[in-house]
Structure 1
Amino acid sequence: MELLLETVALFSLKLAFETEGQSPILRDDLIMSDYEREVFGLLVRRGDVEAIQRKVDECLSLALNAIGSVDTVMGRELLRLAADFSAARTIEQLDAPLIALKDYLKDIQ
């Protein structure tokens, strides 16, 4: 799950900050320091669903702004997927919405 969380964060930050003609954002970039696999791993081991959701929400908010907010079709879909993720109450319930977020963010890159 930690890799999946890190991937969602990475794709979100790519949407928000990566520009054409510059070096791509990578997992070991400084911008990813609060969203590394180890950070998420600690939260998963603690079972801290709310902290995981807050961290992912930070990234998704940046991505949402980058794609035009909820005023766009992509923004509304991202908001819907984010709401599904936020509705989870256990670590196990995060899996399906997290996979949907990852797939969607990958597709709109």
Structure 2
Amino acid sequence: MELLLETVALFSLKLAYETEDSSPILRDDLMMSDYEREVFGLLVRRGDVEAIQSKVDECLVLGLNAIGGIETVLGRELHRLAADFSASQAMEQLDAPLIALKDYLKDIQ
């Protein structure tokens, strides 16, 4: 799950900060330091669903703003997927919405 969480964060930050004429954002970039696999791993081991959701939400807000906000077609779908993820109340419930977020973010890159 840690890799999946890190991937969602990475794709969100890519939407927000990566431009065509710049080098790509990678997992080991400084801006990913708060969203590394190890950070998520600690939260997963603790079972801290709220902290995981908060960290992912920070990135999703940046990504949502980058695609024009909730008023756009892409934004509405990202918002819906983010709401599904935020509605999860147990670790076991995070997988499906997290996979949907990852797939969607990858598709709109």
Number of residue pairs matched?
109
What's the TM-score once normalised by structure 2's chain length? 1.00
- Structure 1: tracts of 5 or more residues without a match: none
SS class of match (1:104): helix
CA distance in 1, matches of 2:100, 2:67: 17
**Misfit runs of 4+, over 3 Å:** none
- Counterpart of 1:94 in structure 2 is 94
1:28 alignment partner AA: D
- Structure 2: tracts of 5 or more residues without a match: none
Shift of 1:80: 0.2
**Identical counterparts, % of pairs:** 85
Query: C-alpha deviations, 1:53-76, integer Å up to 9, x for none?
Result: 000000000000000001100000
Alignment of 1:1-109 (within 5 A): 1-109=1-109
Shift of 1:11: 0.1
SS class of match (2:23): coil
SS class of match (2:89): coil
CA RMSD after TM alignment:
0.3
SS class of match (2:70): helix
